[in-house]
Structure 1
């Protein structure tokens, strides 16, 4: 495998950016992580809404919902964030292009989200959510699957925050109106879910 490095002007010509709002988190060279959201993206670069700016040329690693890990360098500041290149092999860029096409079509056509596991409404929706500081919060589970859950809550937890739902370790992966989506640390089995949520 080899890395494809192209001048920025060529990158702009080769890859058209699409407007796509994906939640995630990014890590700067200080190894600190922060929540973020994409403004637009192409296989060669992306624009991020980000609370802490990167420095020009700084290496940035981003983890995005539906996309996964992307890394590159900060190239310029934008309002409330920055733009960065995507350093990737040709094969990874092709995969990224396919993912972006799917996400764009899904938004335009109103297709359902790609779910790895079927989500079901629990018989017992009441659950205890424990945050990283040890605080306990009673929440209502909207639906649950082998890989995660959606909960109704007004808690303001950053993307990537570790939590425990019932007895299951998880992390916050997405916010929605009046709720939070969680991804379990390990894929559960049906018996474990039944025991906890009925």
Structure 2
């Protein structure tokens, strides 16, 4: 499996828990999606033609059959209706595109993991939501929120004005209206 990726090969990494009648729960991670099926990487090696149940993060539980095995890799084909298989493929492709974005290349400032994570987020209408800082840099922050915000929304994180530039499951990425002095960004930062 070291040949060059085919044009229909799409990289997507999602954690999964798989099991079968032959073996109890084992962990696996999706590696890619292609017309051949979904490739998983795992320390456990299911048998060729073995039927598995896999619970894949963001996808849900799927029934599949092992169609190829290799050293720490196995490929499965879904045992689902054409419509359900297409829905799963679309979701995995979208997640793969999101994972493939090169946010790191655009980052100018390093991110830190703050010790004080709890923060209040004030929306444009004045309402206040509790948030939890994931990381902070001089140019912005990532926050976990229980409320969905739209891209482009103006917010205030603590006392720092920002704009929502990225929305992900259970959170947002925000760019500060005025970047902070990099010397101010440390584990004990308070926004």
TM range (shorter): 0.3 to 0.5
Judging by fraction of residues, say which structure has more helix.
Answer: 1
TM-score by length of 1: 0.46
TM-score by length of 2: 0.47
